[in-house]
A and B are shown apart, each in its own frame.
Chain A
């Protein structure tokens, strides 16, 4: 059992480490950000996890179109669902973070601060993936649903790049990694922006959260496979 499930144990251990070390370790005390920098271990990891889950979903959609095996469609769907969930969590943690760091004077509301190119891009990406589920809901025929939504999923993945990688690079923003700050990466540059002790928690946290995402998707896939047992012949 341990041989097969070692990664689940690993993810659990890594997350315990993330939470404990993330909240207790000494962090550099920067102006404005102060202790809220600890959110980095949660907020940034959500986006890393989302991107990895979407890549897996994309690969399985391509696999579906190559062999029309319904199993691959279920896998693609569930990974996209968990990826979207991670995206929503990433957006929420970011909004909470922005609430404490970006609002500089009392008259500013959270709504006005959140009108940032980076956040708009992320919201667009999540909307595009939201469409994927709307599209899935609009079919009666299972094979047709699987095929058309696989096509859409590939397209959605392609549109992810302009919305979260390209547009945020073009315009100024309060978010780290805006054109003026010369970091290159649209969100953060782990080599330059983080000090060594933070990196020691950050990388395990990314792996831990991603593994939890895969675990979640894995459970959902298994439930769906049992539900659709009669449809899949292997």
Chain B
């Protein structure tokens, strides 16, 4: 099973390397949005910076992860259907999206630091939160993308479906990242909040694994 998951994962990564335009497209998207922010405001204060950062993460995720199911043609899906189980397929997709999203998040964090100064007092902690956040957002959007891919007008639907669902997670992430801005939390509250986000990830992951087989067959 793990062997097949890695084969599927490898296929996705290889595909990304072969069709570089989508990958660079997202990179350009990140760079240009952050550059626009840089031009429009010179030094946002910490809470604005934090809000902007997570909103940008959300839009990057819509662009990077949303296509994961839309790009597979009908014939190719049928081929995957014959060689792998749905659980392996969805785990491979989620893993790939997590890796992609964490990579994109870190790049955008770097660009934020470069262009918009650095109001973060604990950069290492913020980086860890960004990694956790990138993983969480991408898990939710993978499942939403799997649902939206089955509907008509799926490209529009992914944004509509994803936003309300991601809101609770995003609110918790914004709250958690305030701890890296020097806001004082109650003892243990930071770990509790991080644990809660991780728990929510596990919940969504379990949902994806249980529900994806029903989404898959046509």
Q: Bound complex: CA of A158 vs CA of B196, how far in Å?
A: 14
Q: Helix, strand, loop or mixed for chain A's interface?
A: helix
A155 contacts which chain B residues (CB < 8 A)? 143, 147, 165, 207, 211
Contact among A120, A135, A163 for B147, CB-based, below 8 A: A135
Q: Which residues of A contact B167 (CB under 8 A)?
A: 124, 127, 163
Q: Is A213 an interface residue (CB 8 A)?
A: no
- Asked whether A116 is an interface residue with its Cβ less than 8 Å from the other chain, the reply is no
Q: In the complex, what's the smallest C-beta–C-beta distance from B99 to chain A, in angstroms?
A: 23
Secondary structure type dominating chain B contacts: helix
In Å, the complex CA distance between A171 and B192 comes to 13
Q: Which residues of B sit under 8 angstroms from A91, Cβ to Cβ?
A: none
Instruction: Assess the B203–A121 pair: CB atoms within 8 A.
Output: no
Q: Return the contact of B211 from the options A140, A154, A162 (Cβ within 8 A).
A: A154
The docked-state distance in angstroms from the alpha carbon of A54 to that of B46 is 39
Q: A26: CB under 8 A from chain B?
A: no
Does A159 sit at the interface, judged by CB under 8 A? yes
The answer to whether B164 and A128 touch across the interface, beta carbons within 8 angstroms, is: yes
The verdict on B55 contacting chain A, using a C-beta distance below 8 Å, is: no
User: How many angstroms from the CA of A214 to the CA of B157 in the assembled complex?
Assistant: 31
User: By the criterion CB–CB under 8 Å, are A121 and B147 in contact?
Assistant: no
Q: How far is the CA of A144 from the CA of B217 in the complex (A)?
A: 10
With A151-B215, A154-B207, A163-B168 known as contacts, the answer to whether A131 contacts B161 (CB < 8 A) is yes
- Asked if residues B164 and A147 are in contact (CB atoms below 8 Å), the reply is no
B214: chain A residues within 8 A (beta carbon)? 65, 147, 150-151
Q: Is the CB of B151 within 8 A of A131?
A: no
CB <8 Å contact, A158 and B157: no
Interface of A toward B, CB cutoff 8 Å = 65, 120-121, 124, 127-128, 130-131, 134-135, 138-140, 144, 147-148, 150-152, 154-156, 158-159, 162-163, 166-167, 170-171
